[in-house]
Amino acid sequence: MGHGSAGGVCRACNQHVVPLRKSGWWKVALGAAYVGLNVAVCLLMFLGPHMVISAPVWLFGFLGLLGPAHEQATADPTCPACGKYFETAADVKAAPARSVAVAKAA
Ligand SMILES: [Zn+2]
């Protein structure tokens, strides 16, 4: 009982590789950052109007954390051999169907 097949053949370089996927911890970090943002907003309301002055500093600080965390959490898997976007067989099958649909629509 493993975690399924970890590897596949890279379309770009034809090597059997294990694609580099971003760690699931980035999604945990992203969730924690959103929770932190909510807690910060609640704290600012609780602490009173004099804290509103520092609110933009807090918000920009959290947005600075959220940006990279969101980027990492949603990043595409890449091939460790050639560094290109790693496409699986499912992606290859789906791509022509999509272009045919676009051609019909046009
Ligand atoms: Zn490759």
Longest dimension (CA), the chain: 61
- CA of residue 71 to ligand 1 center, whole Å: 22
Residues with Cβ within 8 Å of residue 42, at least 6 apart in sequence: none
- CA of residue 82 to ligand 1 center, whole Å: 4
Choice between 47 and 20, residue whose per-residue pLDDT is larger? 20
What pLDDT is attached to residue 88?
A: 61
What pLDDT is attached to residue 2?
A: 47
Question: Is the pTM here over 0.95, yes or no?
Answer: no
Query: How large is the average pLDDT for residues 1-17?
Result: 76
Q: What are the sequence ranges of the domains in the chain?
A: 21-99
- CA of residue 17 to ligand 1 center, whole Å: 7
Best mean pLDDT range from 2-6, 68-72, 100-104: 68-72
Choice between 102 and 62, residue whose per-residue pLDDT is larger? 62
- CA of residue 91 to ligand 1 center, whole Å: 15
